[in-house]
Amino acid sequence: MKRLSLIAAGLGLALGLPPASAGTTSPVAPDARALALAADPAWADLLHYAPAPLSGRWRSLADDPGFFLAADGARDPAAELAATLAAVRSPARPEAPDEHPQCRFPARYHWLKSRLPDAGPWLDQPCPRLEAWMAGINPAGATLIFPSAYVNSPASMFGHTLLRIDAAGQSEATRLLAYTVNYAAKADATDGFSFAIKGLTGLYPGILSSSPYYMKVREYSDMESRDVWEYPLTLTTDETRQLLRHAWEIGATRFDYWFFDENCSYMILRLLDVARPGLRTAQRFPLSAIPVDTVKEVVAIPGLVAGASFRPAAGTELAYRARRLSADEMQAALAVADGQRPPASLGQDTRAIEQLEFADRLVSYRGHAGKLEQDQALARLRSIQTVRSTLPSIDVGAPPTPPRPEQGHASGRLGLGTGRLGGDPALFLDLRPAYHDLLDPEAGYARGAQIRFFDLAASQREGHGWRLDRFLPVDIVSVAPRQSWTQPLSWKVRFGWERNLGADRAASPTLAGGPGAAWEWNGRLIAYVFLDNQLISHGKLDKHWAIGSGPLTGLLWDLGKDSRVHIEASRQWFNDGRLDRSSARAHLRTRLGSRDNLVAGYEWTRLDTPGEDHQDRRLNLGWQHYF
């Protein structure tokens, strides 16, 4: 048996959809049969049973034979229940107490005892390691943690969910010392393309881990500059202990990590389902479990969430403080942070104190982000803080709390429209399972981030049938505005099939992307420019493929809280002069309600090829619905 470490040990897990019932002819202990425990949804949650997509037969989503005590336990809930009943009643092994089935599967044992109180005798075996681990955590409750999306990390593009296990007697001052239960892919890819491919095909194992909350806050807030939302849950102490028992027993189990369904959020839901039987939260996500959607579902369950609090990231705090400084004050603070000016030269008034505090936080931010050598960062911090310690304290307030994640639009979107394409009347259809684009309302989502997976669009022109306009499994854009104190890189990448050579030609394979830069004014207008590179393949090309590059510029303009305009223009020159392409497009989105938009758009494309100068225009008016 794989052994688990104590508090900060790596645990392992995955997810599954529990069956509502499970018929079987396998032998079951009489008392268990009387209560139909093998068909109990709580037993299905404990073993991660789910109906197979094609056959409908029950099977566990655990990909490790060590998770089962019956030979056919992965597919037979009743056989596994009978084997578990026999195993947990087996004699003690004094030489190896932690290897007893009660210690390996404590959540199962606790549940069986509660459902069969008169089926004893129940002889509790000592489990030293489990007891020490539980005592170290000292659980009294739990909090759902949602770090916001971080587009520059392939594993965190959709956000993330984890649980903080709150200790008995915990206070605001000691909250950071609490431990977390976190599930993530054990990924080896650092780029979005590789991570997407492996994550979509289940090639990563899922790993359950436990670590102090202050380490996760440092990772999310300081290193990745991600805002963190905390949702205290109403789990009792007994429910929280059962959650930890299940985390313990799946810790040594292999689960394949699947990007859209068997992911971090789905496993957190399974832990909640085990803690409080009857929730069945995982059942509400039969196809995908996007983190922000699971947060919305948990918050919507009556009596499960006791509130919400916002923990701003280091970058959010810096942006707030930067807005309080004038241009001259900012330049002086940057000079101190860059080591070009001594801290004492700023003076001793309130404005000087604000500049010093901004410089202090900026140096720390750069150090955590790896943009400044550790020794250099420590030396500058020491110099700044020595001066700051001699000055009085001030209160600059806190960054305003943004809209809560669960208040954002749903991640799926369906669009219908009408207009003209290539001079002909046309109908338009688009479907996006996940999850957000630059024209969508931003409330609850990362500003300037577009993350679309499996984006599908088709059109029907008069005299033509329905034709594919695009199918993009991955389409990611990061528009990160530059500031005087930070100059992030904007970037984009997409691959799939698009109509690259005009409305009369079929969609063809494409791979595109490139670096860029962005700027923002007044919180309402963002301008950006990219070097847009593209590889396309099409039978109409001389060698059936072409590589092109050129500038792409764009504007995002918020007309109000419910409307946004998106304008882009681009020019690409392809290799050997076989193809030049110019394009311009403008789109308007107006929100009609929490789930609906009115959209209008115009697109123009010009293609210059040997012997041909072709232009296409597309005009559409449509409706979008989030689901």
423 and 572: one domain?
yes
In the predicted model, is pLDDT for residue 6 greater than 80?
no
pLDDT-derived band at 28 (thresholds 50, 70, 90) equals low
150 and 255: one domain?
yes
pLDDT-derived band at 241 (thresholds 50, 70, 90) equals very high
| Percent residues over pLDDT 90 in the chain | 67
Mean pLDDT over 40-47 rounds to 94
pLDDT-derived band at 223 (thresholds 50, 70, 90) equals confident
352 and 305: one domain?
no
208 and 300: one domain?
yes
Q: What are phi and psi of 6, to 5 degrees?
A: -80, -115
pLDDT digits (tens, 9 = 90+) for 131-184: 999 999 999 999 999 999 887 766 677 888 999 999 998 988 899 999 999 987
Looking at residue 9, what is its pLDDT? 37
Distances in Å between the alpha carbon of 332 and those of 290, 336, 347, 394, 567?
Answer: 44, 7, 11, 19, 36
Mean pLDDT over 318-346 rounds to 96
Cα of 338 vs its chain's centroid, Å: 34
- Which alpha helices (H) appear in 371-527, and where do they start and end? 374-388
Q: Which domain holds residue 539?
A: 408-626
Taking alpha carbons only, the member of 309, 306, 260, 304 closest to residue 285 is 260
More confidently predicted of 25 and 387: 387
In the predicted model, is pLDDT for residue 11 greater than 60?
no
In a domain, 396, yes or no: no
Q: How far apart are the C-alpha atoms of 82 and 311, rounded to whole Å?
A: 47
Query: Tokens 């409750």, residue?
Result: 141
338 and 447: one domain?
no
Q: Which amino acid does the sequence have at 333?
A: A
In a domain, 2, yes or no: no
Show which of 285, 311, 337 is a domain's final residue.
311
CB 61, CB 255: distance < 8 Å: yes
Query: Tokens 């479907």, residue?
Result: 431
In a domain, 402, yes or no: no
Provide DSSP, 99-121: GSHHHHSHHHHHHHHHH-TTS--
CB 27, CB 86: distance < 8 Å: no
Show which of 336, 354, 388 is a domain's final residue.
388
Specify which of 167-176, 370-379, 412-421 reaches the highest per-range mean pLDDT.
Answer: 412-421
Q: Using alpha carbons only, give the angle 156, 157, 163 rounded to the nearest 5 degrees.
A: 40
Neighbour-count burial for 32-42, b at 16+ CB within 10 Å, e otherwise = beeeebbbbbb
37-41, 138-142, 321-325, 516-520: which has the minimum mean pLDDT?
Answer: 37-41
Contacts by residues 72-79 (CB-CB < 8 Å, ≥ 24 positions apart): 72/26, 73/47, 76/24, 76/26, 77/19, 77/22, 77/24, 77/38, 77/39, 77/43, 77/44, 77/47, 77/49, 78/22, 78/24, 78/26, 78/27, 78/28, 78/38, 79/24, 79/26, 79/27
pLDDT-derived band at 577 (thresholds 50, 70, 90) equals low
In the predicted model, is pLDDT for residue 445 greater than 50?
yes
pLDDT-derived band at 212 (thresholds 50, 70, 90) equals very high
More confidently predicted of 29 and 62: 62
pLDDT-derived band at 315 (thresholds 50, 70, 90) equals very high
24-28, 183-187, 523-527: which has the minimum mean pLDDT?
Answer: 24-28
In the predicted model, is pLDDT for residue 295 greater than 50?
yes
112 and 253: one domain?
yes
In the predicted model, is pLDDT for residue 300 greater than 50?
yes
Looking at residue 462, what is its pLDDT? 83
Structure tokens at 588: 């308007």
3-class SS of residue 504: coil
Looking at residue 128, what is its pLDDT? 95
In a domain, 317, yes or no: no
Q: How far apart are the C-alpha atoms of 256 and 266, rounded to whole Å?
A: 12
462 and 347: one domain?
no
Show which of 278, 311, 344 is a domain's final residue.
311
Looking at residue 189, what is its pLDDT? 56
- Look up residue 305 and give its DSSP letter: B
> Other CB atoms closer than 10 Å to residue 460's CB: what's the count?
16
Taking alpha carbons only, the member of 561, 222, 594, 527 closest to residue 372 is 222
Structure tokens at 341: 């000016």
472 and 361: one domain?
no
Task: Tell me the pairing of strands 139-147 and 58-60.
Answer: unpaired
In a domain, 422, yes or no: yes
| Percent residues over pLDDT 70 in the chain | 90
Cα of 433 vs its chain's centroid, Å: 15
In the predicted model, is pLDDT for residue 284 greater than 60?
yes
Looking at residue 34, what is its pLDDT? 53
In the predicted model, is pLDDT for residue 286 greater than 90?
no
Question: Residue 295 is inside which H or E element, if any?
Answer: helix 291-300
In the predicted model, is pLDDT for residue 4 greater than 50?
no
In a domain, 401, yes or no: no
Mean pLDDT over 410-439 rounds to 95
In a domain, 212, yes or no: yes
Taking alpha carbons only, the member of 331, 288, 129 closest to residue 199 is 288
Q: How far apart are the C-alpha atoms of 366 and 223, rounded to whole Å?
A: 9
Structure tokens at 417: 């429209």
In a domain, 318, yes or no: no
Mean pLDDT over 33-60 rounds to 84
Angle between helices 237-250 and 264-275 (to 10 degrees): 130
Q: Please give the model's pTM, rounded to 2 decimal places.
A: 0.86
191 Cβ contact partners less than 8 Å away, ≥ 6 residues apart: 154
pLDDT-derived band at 260 (thresholds 50, 70, 90) equals low
Q: How far apart are the C-alpha atoms of 252 and 4, rounded to whole Å?
A: 7
Q: Using alpha carbons only, give the angle 413, 290, 234 rounded to the nearest 5 degrees.
A: 125
333 and 367: one domain?
yes
Q: How far apart are the C-alpha atoms of 481 and 525, rounded to whole Å?
A: 10
537 and 455: one domain?
yes
> SS3 for 575-614, per residue?
HHHCCEEEEEEEEEEEECCCCEEEEEEEEEEEEEECCEEE
Looking at residue 283, what is its pLDDT? 81
Give the N- to C-terminal CA distance of the chain in Å, as an integer.
44
Q: How far apart are the C-alpha atoms of 343 and 352, rounded to whole Å?
A: 9
Q: Which amino acid does the sequence have at 462?
A: E
Looking at residue 155, what is its pLDDT? 62
237 and 369: one domain?
no
Q: Using alpha carbons only, give the angle 6, 247, 170 rounded to the nearest 5 degrees.
A: 70
Domain count, the chain: 3
571 and 616: one domain?
yes
Looking at residue 289, what is its pLDDT? 80
pLDDT digits (tens, 9 = 90+) for 490-535: 999 999 999 988 888 899 999 999 999 999 999 899 999 999 999 9
pLDDT-derived band at 52 (thresholds 50, 70, 90) equals confident
Structure tokens at 217: 């806050």
Structure tokens at 586: 């403008």
Distances in Å between the alpha carbon of 513 and those of 343, 369, 442, 607?
Answer: 43, 25, 23, 20
pLDDT digits (tens, 9 = 90+) for 189-208: 555 566 667 766 666 778 88
> SS3 for 195-237, per residue?
HHHHHHCCCEEEEEEEEEHHHHHHHHHHHCCCCEEEEEECCCH
